[in-house]
Structure 1
Amino acid sequence: MNVAEHVLTEDVEFAKRLHGCSIYSLNRAKIALEMKCDYQEVNYWISEYQKCERELQELTEKKLHRDKLERQLKKVYEDMKTLGIDIQIEIVRRSLND
């Protein structure tokens, strides 16, 4: 899976770490099940995987939301242009820390 295609540019590095964490957690769960038959450890690693998966899903939804907003802005721009109204739209992206 190419994580970069599913998240915003500024979230790519974090998404890659989460993806790696997901794979690691599933591998540890598999080892705990096959080698040790330790269901408590299996459950621990599955819960770790689920945490990573939830965060990845949030990053994916964040990108989908931004893509939707950009499509809506583009439609407004095109509609205004069709009506003969010349507008300029500037998209300013800010982080939560600004």
Structure 2
Amino acid sequence: MKQAGMVLLALALAAAAWWWFTAEMPRREHARIEAAEAAAIQARRADSLYRWRDDAGNLHVSDTPPKGRKYERIRKTPRDGIEVDGHRG
């Protein structure tokens, strides 16, 4: 009788481990990846300014992108090193 109880306990533990590795772990990993991606997007937005022109051609720089208008996203913090841009315009 004691041996049957141990076998049942071992089967229950095996079933729990199977469930954990096939259902719970992938779900948690997916949630962790989604949270990391959301944090990265939020960090990029926090480090961004938006440069755009209004209908009169005036240049604006704001911390939120304009609606219905083309804009350029620029970083608030410079990158390490020297950046050379040959575009003039």
Q: TM-score range by the shorter chain?
A: 0.3 to 0.5
Q: TM-score, normalised by structure 2?
A: 0.47
Higher strand share: 2
Q: TM-score, normalised by structure 1?
A: 0.43
Greater relative contact order (Cα < 8 A, sep 6+): 1
Higher helix share: 1
